[in-house]
A and B are shown apart, each in its own frame.
Chain A
Amino acid sequence: MNVVSQVGTESKTSKENGIIMNEMSTSGASTAVVERPLGLETRGLHAWFGAHHVLSDINLQFPERSVTGLIGPSGCGKSTFLRMLNRMHEFIPSAAMAGEVLMNGSDIYAPEVDAAAMRLKVGMVFQKPNPFPAMTIKENVLAGIKLANLKVSNHDDIVEKCLSRAGLWKEVKDRLDASGGSLSGGQQQRLCIARSLAVEPTILLMDEPCSALDPGSTLRIEETIRELAEKITVVIVTHNMQQASRVSNYCAFFLSDGGPGVLVEADATRKMFTNPTDTRTADYVQGKFG
């Protein structure tokens, strides 16, 4: 804990470029230190489902306006970790957690935080494209605004802007009143991205957003993610190592060997793929297990 918070302060004042690796902490977690201000940071994060301890002591930093890939074998707790970053974890009845998630320096789990208002700033895209079936394309994009009762007048502008940012505008601009379900899988997923952008989040969490899509749609969405990262912080879970190397600036490798999942290593993506510190990381990114 101590090490991490020190590092955190340092990273805010330091103007140096480049990435400095931190010492491995005793729990096995490591922390990437970067020059950019942090969009999000976790400190000593633990997760449980009932008595099952699934994540242990995760300390991780997400630099602003970058893409961080979360990688690791199935069941190591990536989705659980992602869902703790916007407090979706707490909707599961048996779920418990400990630790802090800092957004702009303040803990989103602090008692005075309104979870729904916080989630406006942290968008989420799920594995399976899931536009609201009873709504048109346009209504889908505006759903978040309606849900949160935001007062905006320029609905049409928002629809156009969000669909453009999600790379879907050209394909659907003539059928905004068609049902969201009438789109192809890849288009539906981009509609879901547009939907989460409408409430102007500063962070976007994506849980294997391309795993149900064809290669063409996947590339299209990766392009979208790169463009989004010019403005917002993106965290993406992926099983696809090529995707992780194509799309992310930083990578974090999670692993569970029977016990709770731990963060093995986190660093710049290029380093993770060419010269990782931990041999397990090297084995995993080279496809030796997983």
Chain B
Amino acid sequence: MHVVYSLGDRIFRRVVTAGAVTSLLVLALIGLFLFARGVEIFRDMGPKFITGTNWTAGSGDGIIPAEFSIGPMLAGTIVTSLIALFFAVPLSIAGALYMEFFAPAKIKSTLVSMLDLAAAIPSLFFGLWGIQVFSSMGERWAALTSHYLGWFPLFNNELGIFGRSPFIAGLVLAAMIVPIITSVSREVYSRTPRELVDSCYALGGTRWGAIRAVVLPFGRSGVVGGAMLGLGRALGETVAVYLLLNLVFKYNFNILESEGGNIASLIATKFGEATPYELKALLAAGFVLFLLTLSVNMAATAVVQRTAKAQP
């Protein structure tokens, strides 16, 4: 019995280890491939590849030199993702709290399984829905925001055209990442020790009081981890931004104006008719995005693990 058991154990362990090693290996190979193909661009462009604002394939005869840099796209990636977080995080926290503490017991389990399903299906689904809904609605909100808050540089809009802006792209990205953040947050909140919540009630606290005193502090780092998972998705999102934003190579921090882009949509836009040298530049851009999402995901994992450890 003992031998059989430990043999099964060993096989299981090997299979799991092999799986883990393989996925790490694939990840490393992707990074290596992107770097190897893009390294020529990094050498030619230097740090300007990250900060510059010019993407020119050049003329084949070399009269107009090729020049590639992704500054505005990198900035756009970060700006749209932060806008997405700005909307998605509060909404997700509210939704998670509702499900865990306010939803009637009868519908709670249905809601939870729907949510977990939603978190598992590709976010593209919500992106397409978001494009339908927010293209026009977001335009109206943007106009209002600019009307009342236009004095603040971020919300300035000179032209009065509000469609296809980073703001709207951010809204759509928010719709795409709400399910995953809500799902993670609800999971964390549901692990709040029952006795702590009970203690709040026993002290004459209301449900909202218990949430503020115990549930939110307990869930904080878990929610941060969930938000970073969402951020990782938003950073790498291609299709929604590709469909929504006019690619303009200019730093645009007026988030209500109709120009922008992100790295993923840059790659999608240029890939089809790129010259061989431009292709390398696109892969170099891919490498930058790869590093960005990888570090965000690693940070998220670290935060979630720290939470898991801190709790007895």
Q: Chain A residues in contact with chain B, CB under 8 A?
A: 86, 88, 91, 93, 116-120, 122-124, 126, 128, 130, 132-134, 143-144, 146-148, 192, 195-196, 199
Tell me the B192-210 residues at the A interface (CB within 8 Å). Answer: 193, 195-196, 198-206, 209-210
What separation, in Å, do the CA atoms of A122 and B204 have in the docked complex?
Answer: 8
**Cβ A147 vs Cβ B202 within 8 A:** no
**Cβ A119 vs Cβ B218 within 8 A:** no
What separation, in Å, do the CA atoms of A146 and B217 have in the docked complex?
Answer: 15
Q: Name 16 interchain pairs, CB-CB below 8 A, sorted by A.
A: A88-B201, A93-B105, A119-B202, A124-B198, A128-B195, A130-B195, A133-B196, A147-B203, A147-B204, A147-B205, A147-B209, A147-B210, A147-B213, A148-B203, A148-B205, A148-B209
Contact with A along B159-198 (1 / 0, CB 8 A): 0000000000000000000000000000000000101101
Tell me the B205-257 residues at the A interface (CB within 8 Å). Answer: 205-206, 209-210, 213-214, 217-218
**Cβ A126 vs Cβ B204 within 8 A:** no
**Cβ A134 vs Cβ B204 within 8 A:** no
A225 CB to nearest B CB, Å: 17
Closest to A86 in B: B202
> Which A residues are in CB contact (< 8 Å) with B200?
143, 147
> Which A residues are in CB contact (< 8 Å) with B202?
86, 88, 119, 122-124, 196
B196 touches which one: A120, A122, A124, A130 (CB < 8 A)? A130
**Cβ A146 vs Cβ B201 within 8 A:** no
- Greatest chain A CB density within 10 A among B201, B202, B218 is at B202
What separation, in Å, do the CA atoms of A143 and B200 have in the docked complex?
Answer: 8
> Which B residues are in CB contact (< 8 Å) with A126?
195, 198-199
B204 touches which one: A128, A130, A133, A199 (CB < 8 A)? A199
Q: Chain B residues in contact with chain A, CB under 8 A?
A: 105, 193, 195-196, 198-206, 209-210, 213-214, 217-218
Given contacts A116-B206, A148-B209, contact A130 B201 (CB under 8 A): no
A132 touches which one: B105, B201, B206, B213 (CB < 8 A)? B213
Closest to B220 in A: A134
**Cβ A117 vs Cβ B204 within 8 A:** yes
A116 touches which one: B193, B205, B217 (CB < 8 A)? B205
> Which A residues are in CB contact (< 8 Å) with B210?
147
A24 CB to nearest B CB, Å: 33
Closest to B216 in A: A134
- Greatest chain A CB density within 10 A among B199, B204, B209, B218 is at B204
**Cβ A144 vs Cβ B198 within 8 A:** no
Given contacts A130-B193, A130-B196, contact A144 B217 (CB under 8 A): no
What separation, in Å, do the CA atoms of A119 and B203 have in the docked complex?
Answer: 6
**Cβ A144 vs Cβ B204 within 8 A:** yes
A282 CB to nearest B CB, Å: 34
> Which A residues are in CB contact (< 8 Å) with B217?
133-134
B213 touches which one: A116, A130, A143, A196 (CB < 8 A)? A143
A237 CB to nearest B CB, Å: 14
> Which B residues are in CB contact (< 8 Å) with A119?
201-204
**Cβ B201 vs Cβ A116 within 8 A:** yes
**A119-B204, A120-B203 are known contacts; what are 11 more A-B pairs with Cβ within 8 Å?**
A86-B202, A116-B204, A116-B206, A117-B204, A118-B204, A119-B201, A126-B195, A148-B203, A148-B205, A199-B203, A199-B204
What separation, in Å, do the CA atoms of A117 and B202 have in the docked complex?
Answer: 10
Please provide the 10 A-B residue pairs with the shortest distance between their CB atoms, ordered closest to farther: A120-B204, A147-B205, A144-B203, A124-B202, A134-B217, A93-B105, A147-B209, A148-B204, A119-B204, A130-B195
A91 touches which one: B193, B196, B201, B206 (CB < 8 A)? B201
**Cβ A123 vs Cβ B105 within 8 A:** no
> Which B residues are in CB contact (< 8 Å) with A118?
204
What separation, in Å, do the CA atoms of A181 and B105 have in the docked complex?
Answer: 33
> Which B residues are in CB contact (< 8 Å) with A88?
198, 201-202
A197 CB to nearest B CB, Å: 11
A214 CB to nearest B CB, Å: 19
**Cβ A143 vs Cβ B204 within 8 A:** no
**Cβ A134 vs Cβ B203 within 8 A:** no
> Which B residues are in CB contact (< 8 Å) with A148?
203-205, 209
> Which A residues are in CB contact (< 8 Å) with B193?
130
What separation, in Å, do the CA atoms of A93 and B101 have in the docked complex?
Answer: 12
**Cβ B199 vs Cβ A130 within 8 A:** yes
What separation, in Å, do the CA atoms of A143 and B202 have in the docked complex?
Answer: 11
Closest to B310 in A: A133
**Cβ B195 vs Cβ A133 within 8 A:** no
